[in-house]
Amino acid sequence: MGIENKVAEPITDCAARGLRHIAFIMDGNGRWAKQRGLPRELGHTAGAANFKKITRYCSDIGIPAVTVYAFSTENWKRSKTEVSALMRLFGEYLTNEFDEMMVNDLRVVFLGDRAPLSNSLKVLMERMESASVNNSRLLNIAINYGGRAEIVQAVNKLIAEGRTDITEEDITSHLYTAHCPPPDLVVRTGAEMRLSNFLIWQSAYSELYFSDVLWPDLTPGDIDAAVAAFFSRERRFGNA
Ligand code: FPP
C-alpha cells in the first residue's frame, strides 16, 4: 500500500504513552446556537450531549482521567434563563447517567464551591460521588469553579489546620483535584486562547491545545488531532 493510502494507527494506549489526564474548556455552545438561530440554552443542550460522547471517546482511547469546565464562578452573571437551563442539564445528568456511570466503572468528582447550588443538586452530587468512589476511571466536573478561588480555599484550609511554612505540595493536596494528577493536556474549543481561571495551579506544565471548532461540533477526529499534537511535543518540565 502506498504511503498516501496508509491509514493512521488507531489510538488506544494514551496512558501508556504519557497522556493520563485531559481537561476541556467546553467553549462555543452559545455561538453554535446562534449560528442556527436557536436560543443559547439549546447550545448547552447540544454541548451536554457532546460532553457525554467526547468523555466516552477519551476513555476508549485509554485516557484514565478527564476534567471538564461545566460552569465557572463567573457564569452566574449570565441570564436567568441560561443559568436555569445549565442547572437543569446538570440535574438531568446526575439522575439519568447514574447507572451508566456504574456500568462504565467511572468515578465522578465535582470540583468547585457547591454552597450556592440547590439542595437537590447537592444531594445528587454527593450520591454520585460516594457511589462511584471506588470506580477506576475518573471524570471531574467543575461546577461553580474558579481557579483563584480554589487556591484561596486551599490556603484557608491550611490556616484552619494551623499550618505555617506552606509548601507547593501542601497547596496541591488541598485543591479540589487532590485525588488526581495534574492535566497533561488542556484543550479549549471555540477559538479563544486563554485559560479563563480553569485549573490555573494544576496546568503549570500542561500542554495547551486550542481548537476553532465549537464545543457541540467537536468530534472524536478532533480529539485524535489534539492527542497527536500532544504526542508530537517534547515535554521538558523546565529541564534543558
Ligand atoms: C461555554 O460556552 C460553555 C459553558 C458556559 C457551559 C458548558 C456546559 C456544557 C457543555 C454542558 C455540560 C453538561 C454537563 C451535564 C456537565 P459559551 O456559552 O460561553 O459559548 P459562546 O462563547 O459561544 O457564547
Domains and CATH numbers, the chain: 19-146+182-230 (3.40.1180.10)
pLDDT at 7: 56
Band the pLDDT of 33: cuts 50, 70, 90. very high
Q: Which atom of ligand 1 is nearest to the CA of 29?
A: 20
Burial, 3: exposed, middle or buried (Cβ in 10 Å; 0-12, 13-18, 19+)? exposed
Q: Is 142 in the pocket of ligand 1 (CB under 6 A)?
A: no
Q: Is 51 in the pocket of ligand 1 (CB under 6 A)?
A: yes
What strands lie across the sheet with 21-25, from one edge to the other?
A: 106-111, 137-145, 65-72, 21-25, 185-188, 207-210
pLDDT at 240: 76
Whether residue 37 has pLDDT greater than 80: yes
Enumerate helices (H) and strands (E) in the chain, giving the number of each: 8, 6
Pairwise CA distance, residues 67 & 176, whole Å: 12
pLDDT at 1: 40
What are the catalytic residues?
27, 75
Whether residue 89 has pLDDT greater than 50: yes
Nearest CA to ligand 1 atom 8: 70
Burial, 56: exposed, middle or buried (Cβ in 10 Å; 0-12, 13-18, 19+)? middle
CA 167 to centroid of ligand 1, rounded, Å: 34
Q: Is 122 in the pocket of ligand 1 (CB under 6 A)?
A: no
Which mutation among 32, 34, 44, 210 tests ligand 1's pocket best, with the greatest number of atoms within 8 A of CB?
44
| DSSP element (H, E) containing 35 | helix 29-35
Pairwise CA distance, residues 92 & 47, whole Å: 14
Band the pLDDT of 46: cuts 50, 70, 90. very high
Whether residue 10 has pLDDT greater than 90: no
Tens digit of pLDDT for each residue in 214-232?
A: 999 999 999 999 999 999 9
pLDDT at 95: 97
Which mutation among 26, 35, 81, 97 tests ligand 1's pocket best, with the greatest number of atoms within 8 A of CB?
26
Which mutation among 24, 27, 84, 187 tests ligand 1's pocket best, with the greatest number of atoms within 8 A of CB?
27
Whether residue 6 has pLDDT greater than 70: no
Q: Which amino acid is at 97?
A: E
pLDDT above 70 covers what percent of the chain? 97
pLDDT at 99: 97
Nearest CA to ligand 1 atom 10: 47
Per-chain mean pLDDT for the chain: 95
Tell me if 195 sits within 8 A of 25, measured CB to CB.
Answer: yes
Whether residue 98 has pLDDT greater than 80: yes
Tens digit of pLDDT for each residue in 114-126?
A: 999 999 999 999 9
- Count, residues in the chain: 240
Q: Which amino acid is at 193?
A: M
Nearest CA to ligand 1 atom 1: 27
**Confidence (pTM):** 0.95
β-bridge partners, 139: 66, 108
Rounded mean pLDDT of 155-163? 98
Torsion over CA: 177, 211, 74, 68 (sign):
negative
